[in-house]
Structures are given as structure tokens and as C-alpha cells.
Amino acid sequence: MYSEDSEAAGSVDRSGEDVYSKPIKAGKRTYFFDVKATKGNDYYLTITESKRRVEKDGRFAYDKHKIFLYKEDFEKFTEGLQEVISYIRENCLNGDTTTRENRKDESGSFSDVNFEEL
């Protein structure tokens, strides 16, 4: 489902029939949530983190990490993920859920001041 990224990396995932894909761009990383079907029409989810990096010779390469999540694990995985995200929001972020990208955008909204003019 993420053919541009896979082809650029020199590999194409052939482990199941692609049914649906949701790419999420997050800074230098892209996450792919891909629904795939087996030959027996069982569905499963692959979650792929892809990060583009530059090789010494200037070419691009992709670091990928993949998780396979099967239907019998969906509920437990969802509950666990929601629990740890809630924990982070409540105990680690002090209510601040601003992303790094939003913080960077906010800092760019200030006007430039030339102290020589004051």
C-alpha cells in the first residue's frame, strides 16, 4: 500500500493482499497502518514505521520497523495502547499535548525585532 516508499527502498511487501492503508506523516517518520488479507480471507494489521535517511554516498535509504497484529489480539492491543497513552498524558506531559511540530510553528509566529531601532 505504501508503494512509493517501498519501491524507493528497493523492496515490495508481498506477505498479504492489501485491503486498506492509512499513512501518517509524523516529522521525519511515516507510519503505515495496513490492513491485509490472507489467502483464507483472515484479516490482520501491519504497523510500519519508516524513516528516511541519507547514505554516505548521498542516496536515500529507509529504516523500517514492522509489527504484525492479528485479529485475536486487536482488543488487548487497543486496551494496552490506550492505557499507556493515557498514562503518558496524565503523568508525563503535565497536560501539554502540543506536538514538536506545533511548538516549532509557534516559535516562528513571533515578529523579528531589531534592537538597533529601539
CA nearest neighbour of 30 among 72, 55, 60, 56: 60
pLDDT tens string, the chain, 118 residues long: the values are: 544 444 444 444 446 889 999 999 999 899 999 999 999 989 999 999 999 999 999 999 999 999 999 999 999 999 999 999 999 999 998 767 666 666 555 545 545 544 454 4
Phi and psi for 43 in degrees, rounded to 5?
-105, 145
Domains belonging to the chain, first-starting first, are: 3-108 (3.10.450.700)
CA nearest neighbour of 8 among 57, 48, 53: 53
In the prediction, which pLDDT does 94 show? 74
